[in-house]
Amino acid sequence: MLSAFAPLREKIHAIFKFKEGGKLSAQTKPQVGIVMGSDSDLEVMKAASDILQEFGVAFEMTVASAHRSPQRAANWATTARERGIKVIIAGAGHAAHLAGAMAAHTSLPIIGVPIDSSCLQGLDALLATVQMPPGIPVATMAIGKPGARNAGILAVQILALADDDLAARFEAFKQDMAVKVEQKAKKLEESL
Ligand code: AIR
């Protein structure tokens, strides 16, 4: 069964060759804006930038706080579209209003990442990010690093709607995951 995947795997490796050499394309104009409430969120939010890098999607990254620097957060969101940004990923912990603030100040799609930085381990941030009032959506991911990685993946999927090359790479990425599961299943079954 696994051998059937061999040619596919070669194709995937060809498509994903940028994994070894850093960014795939020479494209430098950021398409994704990543913003976080504090530099202490970077360890989590790096999971979003890492996957964007794997796909060769250019991004910009900054810190802005909906509470500590509301004007900076508003300015960054308001000017995002004119900077060429198509999707915003916003991560914050505690009473996390950053993603909602982004959504208030731009019509670009917003992906929210609740950060597990508080004593409530991100449950507070999850509720604050996900419970947006009707009319102002935030696509809210899981808490912490897995959510940040998924935020990057969702941004890729959104951009791939208008980018056939990126869509092909995303398909390969999904197929690669399936191949890995096949390998794990085989290994587990053989160990029994
Ligand atoms: N935060 C900062 N301004 C508003 C909020 N909600 C969040 C950050 C971080 C947490 O507060 O997103 O997760 C703690 O920040 P710091 O700077 O004290 O480490």
Query: Are the CB atoms for 111 and 154 separated by under 8 Å?
Result: yes
pTM passes above 0.85: yes
The H or E element containing residue 10 is helix 6-15
CB of 45 closer than 8 Å to CB of 34: yes
pLDDT reading at 113 higher than 70: yes
Does 2-161 carry CATH code 3.40.50.1970? yes
Q: Is 115 in the pocket of ligand 1 (CB under 6 A)?
A: yes
Among protein residues, the one whose CA lies closest to atom 13 of ligand 1: 93
pLDDT digits (tens, 9 = 90+) for 2-26: 444 444 444 444 344 333 333 334 4
**42 touches 36 (CB < 8 A):** yes
- Span 35-49, pLDDT tens digits: 999 999 999 999 999
| pLDDT of the residue at 27 | 56
Q: Is 63 in the pocket of ligand 1 (CB under 6 A)?
A: no
Per domain, the residue ranges of the chain are: 2-161
**Ligand 1 contact via 147 beta carbon (within 6 Å):** no
- How far apart are the CA of 119 and the centre of ligand 1, in A? 12
Please state the atom number of ligand 1 nearest to the C-alpha of residue 68. Answer: 3
